[in-house]
């Protein structure tokens, strides 16, 4: 589970800011929204509100780019020019992002300090969670001359074979512009097993859905996974949007391309070269068809939905005949199933995009009231209809707002010490908690000057 994130001098975070999922001791509501890890509690969900340009999406972007840095073993291009813009170039301050999390029952703290193309400090500790001393797993530093040093746990440093490994790593593999977490996770050393565990959080547990993200091979997954198909049908039917069933239409290459032997040969060759023997093809509106080899046959698969009309006559529709909202709901099906059943951390930017407010509220409600969930759901949104204390604890609602210096500030609703019965949606829309757009007097805009009539 995600515990907290610290960001400094990245995008709109000109000063150090923290976002966390630590329950406030004062609150006694929705106790099933807390996970307990040997006495340390973590919240299961969080929503982040803010006006356009306030910086709420930058939280997700920072975590996503940190994930890319760890997995791809390189500083992402978007991080190389991401310093807070309203700072004097003379300051040349470093950028920092740190993240504390549980993988299984083990708490970790991982942080990276970098400047331009150079990683100055990278560290991984087994977190003491504020009550015990943090235990070093590794720490690497790079000085002004680009010399890099590595420091490990006392057990590692006192082991002769491990010291040989350390020398080889420094001489042949470690460089100033590359992180070392994945490198160390791939080593077969008994003192680096925690590095492997921490890396798996970035590689497997952390899942990020951006507004343009789409689940891959959904038509194929629904065709081959009966449990997912059943869950998807039950979820979509529960929204009462007219969908009564789902299915995957399967056609052979010849059925799909007709007599175009050139196209058939081209896709056959591409599939044979594909490691997974599967290729997804975007056909617009975020819709994907899947070409996959099963046994000796190559199939073209696309997802269809069933609607029941007048006189109970049913018909099947391709997704390009569906609304953007229906397609977006289908996009979320694997994520919702996963975050309920698995210890996953899902970060979703602009969760409400293209979805009717009542539908997104119902989607969140299903997750909120389920006391058997195992994962975390964290999302940014503008949707005020979700501001309901029956859905969220006060410490699960966060706001992003820019101050006069252009820096994004982050704060929680719990800071306002509101009563558990108050209408927080009304308070938000009235500007009580900030983080809403400042709307000037429209008459002052002199729009009538541009009226062609």
At 115-134, the pLDDT tens digits run 988 999 999 999 999 999 99
At 249-260, the pLDDT tens digits run 999 999 998 988
At 347-358, the pLDDT tens digits run 999 998 878 888
Q: pLDDT band for position 443 (50/70/90)?
A: low
| Nearest residue to 196 (alpha-carbon basis) of 207, 206, 204, 186 | 186
Calculate the average pLDDT of the chain.
Answer: 91
442 pLDDT more than 60 = no
Residue 356 confidence (pLDDT) = 86
At 295-309, the pLDDT tens digits run 999 999 999 999 988
At 357-407, the pLDDT tens digits run 888 888 898 888 888 899 999 999 989 989 999 999 999 999 999 988 899
What are the domain boundaries of the chain?
1-211+349-453, 218-325
Q: Are 301 and 280 in contact (CB under 8 A)?
A: no
218 pLDDT more than 70 = yes
Most confident of 74-88, 308-322, 394-408: 394-408
Class of domain 1-211+349-453: alpha beta
Residue 308 confidence (pLDDT) = 87
At 17-40, the pLDDT tens digits run 999 999 999 999 999 999 999 999
Residue 355 confidence (pLDDT) = 87
56 pLDDT more than 70 = yes
At 219-245, the pLDDT tens digits run 999 999 999 999 999 999 998 888 999
């Amino acid at each position: 589970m995600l515990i907290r994130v610290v960001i400094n001098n990245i995008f709109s975070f000109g000063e150090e800011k923290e976002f966390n999922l630590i329950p406030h001791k004062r609150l006694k509501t929705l106790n099933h929204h807390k996970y307990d890890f040997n006495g340390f509690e973590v919240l299961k969900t969080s929503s982040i509100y803010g006006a356009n340009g306030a910086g709420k999406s930058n939280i997700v972007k920072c975590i996503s780019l940190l994930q890319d840095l760890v997995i791809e073993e390189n500083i992402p291009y978007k991080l190389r020019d991401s310093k807070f813009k309203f700072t004097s170039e003379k300051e040349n301050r470093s950028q920092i992002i740190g993240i504390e999390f549980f993988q299984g029952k083990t708490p970790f703290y991982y942080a990276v300090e970098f400047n331009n193309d150079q990683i100055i400090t990278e560290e991984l500790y087994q977190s003491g969670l504020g009550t015990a001393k943090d235990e070093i797993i590794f720490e690497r530093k790079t000085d002004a001359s680009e010399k890099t040093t590595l420091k490990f746990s006392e057990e590692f440093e006192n082991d002769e074979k491990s010291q040989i490994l350390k020398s080889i790593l420094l001489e042949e593999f470690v460089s100033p512009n590359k992180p070392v977490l994945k490198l160390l996770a791939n080593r077969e050393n008994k003192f680096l097993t925690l590095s492997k565990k921490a890396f798996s959080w970035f590689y497997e547990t952390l899942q990020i859905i951006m507004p343009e993200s789409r689940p891959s091979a959904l038509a194929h997954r629904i065709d081959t996974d009966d449990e997912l198909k059943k869950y998807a049908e039950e979820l979509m039917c529960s929204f009462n949007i007219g969908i009564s069933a789902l299915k995957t239409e399967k056609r052979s290459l010849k059925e799909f391309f007709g007599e175009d032997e050139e196209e058939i040969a081209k896709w056959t060759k591409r599939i044979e070269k594909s490691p997974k023997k599967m290729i997804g093809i975007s056909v617009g509106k975020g819709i994907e068809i899947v070409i996959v080899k099963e046994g000796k046959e190559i199939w073209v698969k696309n997802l269809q939905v069933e609607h029941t009309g007048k006189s109970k006559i049913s018909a099947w529709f391709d997704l390009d005949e569906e609304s953007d909202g229906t397609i977006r709901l289908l996009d979320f099906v694997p994520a919702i199933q996963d975050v309920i059943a698995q210890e996953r951390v899902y970060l979703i930017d602009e969760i409400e995009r293209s979805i009717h407010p009542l539908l997104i509220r119902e989607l969140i409600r299903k997750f909120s009231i389920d006391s058997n969930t195992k994962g975390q759901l964290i999302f940014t949104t503008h949707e005020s209809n979700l501001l309901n204390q029956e859905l969220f604890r006060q410490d699960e609602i966060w706001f992003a707002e820019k101050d006069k210096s252009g820096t994004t500030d982050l704060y929680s609703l719990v800071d306002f010490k509101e009563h558990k019965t108050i209408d927080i949606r009304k308070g938000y829309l009235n500007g009580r908690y900030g983080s809403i757009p400042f709307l000037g007097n429209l008459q002052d805009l002199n729009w009538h000057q541009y009226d062609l009539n």
